[in-house]
Structure 1
Amino acid sequence: MHTILLVEDNEMNRDMLSRRLIRKDYRVLIAEDGQQGIERAALEHPDLILMDLSLPVLDGWEAIRILKQSPELRDIPVIALTAHAMISDQEKAYAAGCDDFDTKPIDLNRLLEKISAALTKQKHLP
């Protein structure tokens, strides 16, 4: 069973997405802001991180930068989630180090494909 860390400050989004992922046999960890996300990732070493970009305390862009600079955490795939669908937001997320990008509202089938692709790619890394 793969573990996904969901970093999301909106309780309704967090609840909806975590329940749907659990039904797909993922173990889901929760963090409500970027700082909690980094701390939880360091403690739990999830297989994948879903990172909202508009977060309190530490925004998703900065949290991704910190994760990707950490030797222990940088290989964990990060999929950025945001309602900001502009190309510039996507470019900014990739520049911060995310491995993939998806827009809100979440299309679960599309997101599940991205999760599967990221986990498969991670498994084949040396």
Structure 2
Amino acid sequence: MNILIIDDDLRNIFALKTALKSRGLKAEGCISAKEGLDYLEKEKGVDIVLLDMMMPEFDGFELLEFVHQSPRKDYPPIIAVTAKAMIGDRERCILAGADGYVAKPVDIDKLLTEVNRILLAESDD
């Protein structure tokens, strides 16, 4: 499985990549939403995106809006990964177009459960 992590904090990318690789998964990182979109345009083998919602300049909500308004329909599923874990934040991310939601600090087992849930749902379509 190929996972793209989009987060403006290199420490978060490193921690997630390390945890995912220890589970036998391939992960790449991009440090901005723009870089992430560029990566998705070039690389067609991404199975799922882990998207930080709070980034400067072009945040996760704007990326979700772009993806869902794009004529291109083959973007991979996107999981919002955010420190915003207040009541209603999960719903806001899902309403914005995220396929899933995981709060920071990330519990890797919960993240993988969410990844598997989304990929199973995608395969049923």
Using the size of structure 2 for normalisation, the TM-score is: 0.90
Q: Could you tell me which residue of structure 1 aligns to residue 99 of structure 2?
A: 99
Gaps of 5+ in 2: none
Residues of 2 paired with 1:77 and 1:83: CA distance? 20
- Any stretches of 5+ residues in structure 1 without a counterpart? none
Map of 1:110 onto structure 2:
110
* Equivalent pair of 2:40/2:75 in contact (CA under 8 Å): no
Letter of the 1:47 counterpart: D
**Cα displacement string for residues 76-106 of structure 1 (whole angstroms, at most 9, x for unaligned residues):** 2110011111133222211210011110011
State the Cα distance separating 1:74 from its structure 2 match: 5.2
SS of structure 2 residue aligned to 1:55: coil
Q: Is the 8 A contact 2:78 2:99 kept in 1?
A: yes
Question: What is residue 15 of structure 2 aligned with on the other side?
Answer: 16
Q: Secondary structure at the match of 1:87?
A: coil
Secondary structure at the aligned position of 2:50 is classed as: strand
Q: Decide whether the 8 Å contact of 1:37 with 1:63 is kept in 2.
A: no
Distance 1:71 1:103, change over 3 A: same
RMSD between aligned residues:
1.5
1:73, distance to aligned residue in structure 2 (A): 4.6
Say if 1:83 and 1:104, in contact at 8 Å, map to a contact too: yes
What SS does the aligned partner of 1:106 have?
A: coil
The percent of aligned pairs where both chains have the same amino acid is 30
SS of the residue corresponding to residue 121 of structure 1 reads helix
> Hey, what's the Cα distance between the residues in 1 that align with 2:39 and 2:97?
18
1:57-76 equivalent positions in 2, closer than 5 A: 57-73=57-73, 75-76=75-76
Aligned length: 124
Q: Distance in 2 between matches of 1:28 and 1:73?
A: 22
Change in Cα spacing, 1:43 to 1:73, as seen in structure 2 (3 Å) is farther
Cα deviation for residue 72 of structure 1 reads 3.0
